[in-house]
């Protein structure tokens, strides 16, 4: 009889809890950019529930932009850091009661300036004194404008993208004839138009391939048939596409010749033929990708092409915020189309475990779910605002089953893409550590001590104090116990089996190895005992010990070890140098930490010269989770500066010092001065640069659409560098010549993006959400001039104070200033970007 009553009671409790209402607002009070800088902010909470809220409530929220610890001005109230970006606002004893309609304002200070409107606390969760909780739906953040940020930063070199700043950046760009543009991106090594473009309607089409190119022929025919739906007219001459073999071409090289209705794609190896197939498809205009067309457009031309690098990678993190399998397949389609050939797949981190591992269900049952609880016993906390309910969390909860992962593997293989899984150890492992502690407790309670200890990653009584780069505690596995290596080997065996079962070779394994926090293992009883028994090691050497053990496990299973640059580094005091101990082990290093102006920009060269194979992943150029610019409305990180299509395009992998014009702080980057102290690649070092990689970490990315926005169009600049290599302007004799040629060459590239690639991106593979840039504008002698970073897009304007729409006038030449002008960029399909409003403080701050 008690169960129905209990059920009714719980139901009523849920109803009462859901009716509890608290509204919130946040505003910036002060933003100081002098010296080290700081900001002050205020969070206001109002009880709108219609009934009193007892003392002792708590407010949980996410943000990575509050220091640890935070300074709260209100007596008796603290902001306590829990883990990562998760904080709780609570009373030192109890938070005060909130009467009906009562408001409380909490003021706090952060020891860094405030840069982005998205940096405010988010995903607020209110915990009632009775233990019930709810998410605050009525929460307002008072934002500030680009002009206001420009005023705040007056006197600093930070390049805030006000109208005149954007206009100056876009100077030298103009709309070019399509005949001046490459036929597609990435730009082929050589091309020549040989005749007029052909429009062919309702003609029969056949693909004939050499026997070794059978898969490539089938892929091309299926791709064409998805879009070309002719009502075959026997009077029309058929189109024949031939895939032919030419053993003299490079492995990934190809030739294309289109003359009249005959198409030949020539290659020496299947992967070269596949690139030729993708290049043929890239010749198709945007409307081809919309499907159901009875017409084909064939440019008559000759192309000869091959890549600069054998490794052309794309790194995607799905641990911090999850992406569904369908989005991964779409990313693989995009990679294949743009001739990227390595998918570096990061599926585990502190904030989530995203792959089913047979025999270790806790990894996904615990580590694959995020939601709210006070003590994080059943699932991880809702990092990055992923929501209180683990059942409905789209970004916090999720993982790939073995079957789904194998679908990804086979999909990638069919597109000539190698999948390299990353399972980061020993740091960045909190999800795994917590999941294995869950397993440990379960088996311990069942009296199965041996099973409990088998895969344990933590240890009892470790009092080491540390905080990771992402503000996690307890995120590093104990490297002094054998169960850690048992766990690692179990992981290797299971993942390799997944590859083998679908006949996908697994050759390379990425072991992470980055950002091991200072202070880790210093108070570990097991590690103290280990170094006592092994006097050749000190606590400071345990990283090397772990790397050696991990490498031995991988070698046992015929896998090559890779990791972030840290696995090939050592510390000499505060100086970081290549670790010569492992330089002959063929460990592949991913050189990432290249913040412009911090001194580590040439680390990739130092490691390559030392003998390590190196992939250049420069954070200042190829980290696409960085914001596009310093506009406060552009989401994304700024820790390594900002990155747009120009910043990624102008990277010079062979002369990295030419890749910047400004430091992260916006100060001048002098090429001549920097070059004097910049490490030069030796002949061996140059051979050790095996390729490049573009990265996306997902802390600030909360949907597939947002992921695509972060990637495009800025990633097109990286794609150009990955295939083409160093731009030709970097070989000019003087700095003046280099910069002149750079502007000219970027003009061609930017036109190719605006006129050709963006229309295709909006149509192919279901269409990609992409950023449309804000225009630049300047007033001269009573006239307003406007421009755009990617010519081919459309600038529209109004002069009555309203926001421009797809029906507003098109800007084609300077207009007289009347007041109230607004500009906005549109694509040919009608997608649009932010509004540029000329009323306000659109000033050149350097003249102030």
Q: Which among 353, 40, 213, 165 is positioned nearest to 844, based on CA atoms?
A: 165
Q: Which among 487, 485, 507, 486 is positioned nearest to 496, based on CA atoms?
A: 507
The structure tokens 């680009």 sit at 146
Query: Is 688:614 a contact under the CB 8 Å cutoff?
Result: yes
Judge if the upstream peptide bond of residue 691 is cis by omega within 30 degrees of 0. Answer: no
Opening angle at CA 132, ends 129 and 133, nearest 5: 105
Q: What is the DSSP letter of 811?
A: P
- DSSP track, 553-599: HHHHTT-EEEEEGGGGEEEETTEEEE-GGGTTS--EEEE----TTSS
Please pick, among 295, 515, 523, 779, the residue that the annotation labels catalytic: 515
Query: Is 351:431 a contact under the CB 8 Å cutoff?
Result: yes
Helix (H, G, I), strand (E, B) or coil at 297: strand
- Give the separation between CA 215 and CA 242, rounded to whole angstroms: 13
Helix (H, G, I), strand (E, B) or coil at 17: helix
Q: Which among 468, 557, 548, 459 is positioned nearest to 508, based on CA atoms?
A: 557
- Give the separation between CA 150 and CA 840, rounded to whole angstroms: 11
Tokens describing residue 781: 């002698």
Tokens describing residue 343: 């998918």
Query: Is 414:407 a contact under the CB 8 Å cutoff?
Result: no
Q: Which residues touch 846 (CB under 8 Å, ≥6 apart)? A: none
Q: What is the DSSP letter of 197?
A: P
Angle between helices 482-501 and 542-556 in degrees, nearest 10: 30
Tokens describing residue 315: 């790194």
- Give the separation between CA 95 and CA 524, rounded to whole angstroms: 36
Query: Is 409:505 a contact under the CB 8 Å cutoff?
Result: no
Query: Is 616:591 a contact under the CB 8 Å cutoff?
Result: yes
Give counts: helices (H), strands (E), the chain: 22, 36
Q: Which among 60, 61, 62 is positioned nearest to 700, based on CA atoms?
A: 62
CA 810 to chain centre: 34
Tokens describing residue 269: 């190896």
Strand partners, 376: none
Helix (H, G, I), strand (E, B) or coil at 388: coil
Is residue 515 part of the annotated active site? The answer reads yes
Tokens describing residue 698: 């997902």
Query: Is 312:257 a contact under the CB 8 Å cutoff?
Result: no
- Give the separation between CA 276 and CA 267, rounded to whole angstroms: 8
CB half-sphere exposure, 235, CA atoms < 13 A: 1
Query: Is 388:382 a contact under the CB 8 Å cutoff?
Result: yes
Residues with active-site annotation: 515
């Amino acid at each position: 009889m008690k169960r129905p009553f209990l059920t009714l009671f719980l139901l009523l409790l849920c109803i009462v809890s859901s009716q509890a209402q608290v509204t919130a607002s946040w505003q910036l009070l002060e933003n100081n950019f002098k010296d080290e800088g700081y900001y002050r902010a205020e969070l206001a909470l109002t009880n709108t529930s219609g009934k009193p809220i007892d003392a002792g409530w708590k407010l949980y929220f996410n943000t990575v932009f509050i220091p640890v610890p935070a300074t709260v001005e209100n007596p008796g109230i603290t902001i306590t850091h829990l883990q990562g970006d998760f904080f709780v606002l609570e009373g030192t004893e109890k938070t005060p009661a909130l009467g009906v309609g009562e408001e409380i304002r909490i003021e706090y200070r952060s020891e860094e300036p405030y840069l982005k409107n998205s940096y405010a606390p988010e995903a607020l969760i209110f915990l009632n004194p009775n233990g019930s909780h709810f998410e605050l739906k009525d929460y307002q953040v008072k934002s500030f404008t680009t002009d206001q940020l420009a005023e705040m930063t007056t006197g600093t070199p930070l390049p805030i993208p006000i109208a005149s700043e954007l206009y100056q950046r876009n100077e030298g760009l103009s709309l070019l004839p399509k005949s001046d543009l490459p036929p597609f991106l990435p730009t082929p090594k050589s091309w020549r138009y040989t005749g007029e473009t052909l429009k062919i309607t309702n003609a029969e089409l056949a693909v004939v391939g050499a026997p070794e190119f059978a898969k490539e022929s089938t892929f091309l025919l299926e791709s064409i048939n998805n879009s070309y739906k002719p009502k075959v007219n026997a009077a029309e001459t058929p189109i024949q596409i031939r895939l032919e073999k030419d053993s003299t071409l490079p492995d990934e090289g190809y030739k294309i010749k289109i003359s009249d209705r005959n198409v030949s794609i020539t290659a020496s190896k299947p992967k070269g033929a596949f690139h030729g197939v993708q290049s043929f498809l890239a010749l198709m205009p945007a409307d081809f990708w919309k499907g159901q067309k009875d017409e084909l457009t064939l440019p008559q031309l000759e192309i000869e092409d091959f890549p600069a690098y054998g490794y052309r990678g794309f790194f995607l993190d799905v641990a911090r915020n999850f992406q569904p399998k369908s989005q991964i397949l779409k990313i693989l389609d995009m990679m294949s189309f743009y001739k990227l050939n390595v998918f570096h797949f990061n599926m585990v981190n502190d904030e989530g475990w995203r792959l089913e591992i047979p025999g270790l269900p806790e990894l996904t049952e615990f580590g694959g779910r995020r939601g709210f609880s006070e003590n994080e016993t059943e699932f991880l906390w809702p990092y990055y605002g992923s929501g209180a309910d683990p059942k409905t969390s789209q970004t916090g909860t999720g993982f790939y089953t073995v079957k789904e992962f194998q679908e990804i593997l086979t999909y990638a293989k069919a597109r000539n893409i190698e999948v390299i899984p990353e399972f980061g150890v020993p740091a960045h492992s909190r999800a795994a550590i917590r999941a294995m502690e869950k397993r440990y407790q379960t088996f311990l309670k069942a009296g199965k001590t041996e099973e409990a200890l088998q895969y344990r990653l933590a240890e009892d009584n470790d009092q080491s104090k540390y905080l990771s780069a992402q503000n996690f505690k307890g995120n590093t596995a104990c490297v002094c116990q054998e169960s850690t290596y048992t766990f690692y080997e179990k992981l290797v065996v299971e993942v390799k089996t997944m590859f083998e079962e679908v006949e996908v070779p697994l050759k390379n394994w990425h072991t992470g190895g980055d950002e091991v926090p200072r202070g880790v293992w210093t108070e570990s009883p097991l590690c103290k005992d280990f170094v006592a028994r092994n006097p050749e090691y000190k606590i400071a050497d345990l990283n090397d010990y772990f790397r050696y053990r991990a490498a031995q496990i991988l070698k046992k299973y015929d896998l090559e070890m890779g990791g972030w640059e840290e696995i090939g580094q050592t510390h000499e005091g505060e100086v970081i140098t290549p670790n010569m101990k492992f330089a002959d082990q063929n460990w592949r290093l991913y050189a990432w930490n290249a913040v412009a102006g911090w001194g580590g920009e040439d680390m990739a060269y130092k490691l390559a010269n030392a003998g390590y194979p190196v992939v250049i992943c420069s954070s200042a150029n190829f980290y696409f989770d960085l914001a596009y610019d310093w506009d406060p409305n552009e989401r994304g990180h700024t820790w390594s500066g900002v990155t747009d299509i120009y910043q990624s395009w102008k990277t010079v992998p062979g002369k990295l010092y030419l890749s910047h014009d400004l430091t992260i702080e916006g100060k001048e980057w002098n090429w001549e001065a920097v070059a004097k102290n910049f490490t030069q690649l030796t002949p061996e070092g140059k051979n050790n640069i095996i390729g490049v990689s573009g990265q996306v970490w997902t802390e600030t990315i909360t949907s597939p659409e947002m992921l695509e926005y972060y990637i495009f169009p800025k990633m097109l600049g990286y794609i150009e560098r990955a295939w083409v290599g160093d731009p030709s302007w970097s070989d000019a004799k003087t700095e003046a010549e280099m910069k002149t040629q750079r502007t000219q060459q970027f003009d061609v590239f930017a036109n190719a993006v605006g006129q050709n690639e963006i229309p295709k991106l909006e149509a192919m593979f279901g269409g990609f959400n992409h950023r449309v840039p804000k225009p630049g504008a300047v007033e001269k002698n009573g006239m307003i001039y406007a421009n755009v970073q990617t010519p081919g897009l459309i600038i529209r304007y109004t002069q009555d104070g309203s926001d421009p729409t797809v029906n507003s006038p098109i800007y084609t030449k300077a207009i007289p200033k009347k007041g109230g002008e607004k500009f906005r960029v549109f694509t040919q399909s009608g997608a649009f970007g932010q509004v540029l409003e000329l009323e306000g403080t659109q000033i050149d701050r350097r003249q102030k």
